[in-house]
Structure formats: structure tokens, C-alpha cells
Structure 1
Amino acid sequence: CAAGKGTFGTEEMLNRIERTRLAEIVNHRRLIVPQLGASGVAAHQVRKASGFSITYGPVRARDIKPFLEAGMVATSEMRLVRFAILDRLRLVPVEIVGSLKYLILVAAAFLLLAGIDRSGYSGAAVIGAGSRSAINLLLADLAGVLLGPMLLPWLPGRSFSFKGFAAGLGVFFVSFLTGLAGDNPLEIIAWAFLMPTIASFLTMNFTGASTYTSLSGVRKEMRIAVP
């Protein structure tokens, strides 16, 4: 993630080497960088500017000790990048927590606004339409932060935003078939646009947690999808 978006990169590494006075602390000139950090670190530039050579280590931290014991030679297993369903699900709690504060605020606003009608303010409407709105928002949120990552290889399209849109469209149909989308055509149309859009945006956030997206690819996708 950090390498892909540039925060774990050549300049930052050189900055840390200088700030920590690493050359005065160690008696060697070799640094081990995670394999997935290679997209952000230019080894030749680091060596030219600091004198430290870069060795790209294994993908996973648990393999660092065997890697060192083998004389900094990585096996094919150490180089193998996996992004299976369990790997993706481990990241879901972070995404849920990150979206939860916004979900609560938006759901509260929908609940309050649902009570406004022609006669003034209706508590029954808050309970009815308001609670339906809150559930729909929750479904859209879960489509983006749970279903999108979990079903990533099977959802249509290549971009994360499109995959999230597909997941959001799926939960909209669930909402429509169960009556949660309401019975007013305008309300149904509104949810048909809103739920996939929310899910698309949230799934697009997952680009930073994946093992194969690039900074240029993410920027291109955001230029297309965000508007």
C-alpha cells in the first residue's frame, strides 16, 4: 500500500537513513526491503545517494529469519504473492471501522430527514422510512467493504470501482425484492443509484490493500470513477 502510493519510496528511505544516522550505527551497507516495496524504492538511486545497497527480501515478514539464514537468498515460496480470500478478509475489519463513522452520521441524517412530511414531522415515518434507509445504507456499506473484497475474483470487470458497483447493484436488488427500497418509484430509483455508488467508492478504497494495484493504475481509475 505505502509503496504503491509513494509514501514508502526512495525519498522517504533516504530521509530515514539520514535522520537516523544509520551509516554511523551499522558497519555494513546493505538494507533489506520487502519485496512488495519494490514498486516504490529505486535501488540504484538509494545506493548512489546513500551508499547503501538494496536487497529485496521475502513477501512475508515471517520468512525474514529463514531468508537471512539462507544468506539472503529467497526461495520461490518466499517470492510467491498470495491474495486469497482469507488474506482479503483479514483486511475487512479495518475497512469497516474506517467507514463506520461516516455510516453512522449519514444514517442518522437519513433517519431525521425521513420524518419530514407535508403535515410537519412524523415519528412513524422515522421508524418506517427512516429505519429502511438506515438498513439500505448498511447494506451498501457492507457491499463495499465486505462483499467487494470477499468476492473480488468473481465480480465482473477489472477495476475495483466496477466490482464494487456490481456488489452494490446486487444488494440493491435484495433491497428491492424485500421491500426495503420502498414502494415509491422515485425512492426506488434513488436507491438504485445510491447503493451501487456507495459500494463502488468503498471497494475502490481497497486498491490500497491489494497486492497487485499500481499507483498509476489507481490514479487512472479514480479519474474515471470518482466523478
Structure 2
Amino acid sequence: MFAPQKNTEEVCCGSPAGPPSSPFERPGYSVCPFVDRFKATTLGSVAVLKTHLSFQDRLGALMVRLDIGRNQYKVAPGLYAVGDPDANAPVLVTANYKLTLDSVRKELSAVNAWILVLDTRGINVWCAAGKGTFGTAEVIRQVKNVRLDQVVGHKKLILPQLGATGVSGLQIKKECGFEVIWGPVRAQDIPAFLANRQKASSAMRRVTFNLRERWVLTGVEITQTFKNLAWIIPALFILSGFGPGIFSLFQVWHRGSITVAAVLAGIWSGAFLTPLLLPWIPGRAFALKGGLMGLLFGVVLTLLFLKPVFSLSVLSLFLMGLPVSSYLAMNFTGCTPYTSPSGVEKEMRTAIPLQSLLVLAGLVLWIVSGFL
């Protein structure tokens, strides 16, 4: 009359049970997805990193390239490993900006090494060296914190060349006994550097800033610009509505669209086109390069879309768009590996007052042209 009862474990509702918890999990903690396993040492367990990037890693990289969650994209400082390092394995030093750590670990699939991650506040090596967070004191602090002398049997640290401005090898040797060896500029050269007895070729020492390296930086520049200037767009629409009839909704849309287009053209020219075409634009100063690109881009757009070409309103648009392009190109100097802080400061002292004056003049002329 009744069917025999099945095993209750088989008829439990819901999807099948997932895998058991990892033996490395601890209450209140979670294992980061980029950690493969843990390696036992005399001082405890060390996280062994995966050497391939997952979809989550690549998505995270895309997000920070667009300045989304960039300030929180970091890992805990300390000692990590790749492969199966022993006491003789090299020690690579890097920053705790996850994008930097990802660029290092993905090149080490055939390498056994220790990775000492400094607390650079989530900033890359190049910028952190300039700010002092990738520096002598932090290297010494981390070496002592992880008791590195009890993990490895040698006294050598391999630091990235781009961190040299913030580090004193002599001071590190004096304070903790480790010798600093300067590694290559690019993480992709680390395996060859290690295979060559930790000696860098001239190509490994050469700092490049090619088209791809410039292109990947433009996303942050453009996103930050829109964040900072978001309030300006509605303000320009409103100001464009003033005219002989006091205020016109038609002019808000008609003149406002043209004004915003001029500003957007300046943003596009200074934050995207200028970085891409940087080596081929005349002049040394980035403000000048951006100004020239803004002028060229503005002339092309004017000839295509604005009539009459010679008018007060067109002049005012040039005076607003050109300095925007100039300023954003100048702002890009912080991303380049061949500009000095003193040179940038000198350029800014000259350029910013002129850029501000041009924007103010353009805005006044634009408002006045609405009454003519």
C-alpha cells in the first residue's frame, strides 16, 4: 500500500552538497581566491599563490583600470610563495597593490620563489617609491616581521628596478643584513633574470612607455575626470539658457549641447588622444602637447559641425575646450616614467594660471554671446 521509504539523505530537498570546507579555513577568516594552498615552514604556514589569473582577477583588473574600487584593490602584506620554494629559493619584493602582485605571479608558473609583499597602501611600485611607502624602512620592517632570516638560508632580496628611487640598499644591508639586488623593470623578464644568475640585460633595464602601456592608463584618467567634473555639465546647460528672453529652455538644450560637446571634446583630446599620440606631438611640456591636440581636434569639429566658423560663440568654445585638453594632458605626467617631480611642478606653475584664465574668458564670452 505504501512505497518503501528511501534513504533520507537521498531525498533531501535542494541541490547536491558542495565540496567540504578547506582544511585551511579558520573561523572569521576566508581564503583569498588567488591562493592555491599553504606551505608549512618552520615559522608557520605561508600562502602559495596561483600563477594563472582567473576571470575574477581579470574582471577586478578591468574595474580598477576604470577607477572602480581602486583604493581598496590590495592584499595583506607579508610573505607569500609560488611553486615549492625552499631555503635557497630567491626572494622577490613587490607592492601590495593587487594589480602589481597579479602581474608578478602570472609570470612565475615555472619558478619556485618567495614573494615579500610590502605595505604600500595599495599603490604600485613606481608611485609608492615616489611617495615613500615602497621604501627602505618598509623593506626592513617586513623582513623583520616575517623573520625572513629564519625562512631562507641566503641574504639576498630582489627588488624591482622601478622602486629604486625610494630604497637605500646600503641601509637595508646595515639594518637587517640582506643585500639588495635590482631586478628587471618588467615582471615578464623575472624568469629570464633568475635563469641568468640574477643578472639583468640592457633590455631588462630599459624603461618603456609604448602604445599599450599608455592606453591602459587612459581609463582611470577619463573616469576620474568625469567624477570631478560631473557637476559642471548641468551647470553649463543652465548657463546656456540665459539670453535676451532672460531664460530659454530651447537654448538650454541647443546651446547647452554645443557647450558640453566642446568640453567633452577637450576631455577626449587631453585624456585619451594625447596619451596615445604622445611621442608624435610636438613639444616637451605635456600642457603644450594637450593644447595642440585640443586645438587640432577643435578645428576639425568646428569645420564639420559649427556654422558660422568665425563667431564669438565658436571662439568661446575654443577657449573652454582647449585648456581642458591642456590640463588633462598635463595631469597625465604623473603616469609617465620619464618626468621629474621638479619639472612637473615648474610646468604646473606656468600652465595652470593660463589654463584657468582661458576657461574663465571662454565662459564669459559664451554667456555674452547668448545675448547677441
| In the alignment, structure 1 residue 112 sits paired with structure 2 residue 238 | yes
What are the equivalent positions in structure 2 for 1:120-159 lying under 5 Å apart?
120-159=246-285
Distance 1:25 1:68 in 2: 20
Letter of the 2:141 partner, please give it.
Answer: E
Which of 313, 317, 326 is 1:200 aligned to? 326
> TM-score, length-normalised on structure 1?
0.86
Identity %, equivalent residues: 37
* Structure-2 residue corresponding to 1:72: 198
Which of 196, 209, 217 is 2:335 aligned to? 209
Map Cα deviations across residues 113-141 of structure 1 (whole Å, 9 max, x no partner).
21222323211111110011111111000
Report how far residue 93 of structure 1 moved.
1.3
More displaced stretch, 50-59 vs 195-204: 50-59
Change (3 A) 1:48 1:199: farther
CA contact (8 A) 1:181 1:187 kept: no
Map Cα deviations across residues 148-191 of structure 1 (whole Å, 9 max, x no partner).
11111111110111111111111221233234487684333322
More displaced stretch, 162-171 vs 111-120: 111-120
SS of the residue aligned with 2:259? helix
CA contact (8 A) 1:144 1:199 kept: yes
Letter of the 1:211 partner, please give it.
Answer: P
SS of the residue aligned with 2:207? coil
Change (3 A) 1:158 1:3: farther
Letter of the 2:230 partner, please give it.
Answer: I
Distance 2:129 2:139 in 1: 18
More displaced stretch, 84-93 vs 149-158: 84-93
SS of the residue aligned with 2:147? helix
More displaced stretch, 98-107 vs 176-185: 176-185
More displaced stretch, 106-115 vs 135-144: 106-115
| In the alignment, structure 1 residue 38 sits paired with structure 2 residue 38 | no
Distance 2:167 2:186 in 1: 17
Kindly indicate which of the two structures has a greater share of residues assigned to strand: 2
| In the alignment, structure 1 residue 24 sits paired with structure 2 residue 140 | no
* Structure-1 residue corresponding to 2:294: 168
SS of the residue aligned with 1:90? helix
Distance 2:307 2:129 in 1: 38
Q: Which has the larger radius of gyration?
A: 2
Which aligned segments of 4 or more residues in structure 1 are displaced greater than 6 angstroms? 181-184
* Structure-2 residue corresponding to 1:98: 224
CA contact (8 A) 2:158 2:183 kept: yes
Report how far residue 22 of structure 1 moved.
4.1
* Structure-2 residue corresponding to 1:221: 347
CA contact (8 A) 1:4 1:213 kept: no
Distance 2:230 2:345 in 1: 29
Letter of the 1:85 partner, please give it.
Answer: L
Distance 2:307 2:134 in 1: 46
Change (3 A) 1:226 1:69: same
Gapped regions of structure 1 (runs ≥ 5): none
Gapped regions of structure 2 (runs ≥ 5): 1-125, 354-372
CA contact (8 A) 1:32 1:55 kept: yes
Distance 2:174 2:210 in 1: 38
Report how far residue 4 of structure 1 moved.
6.8
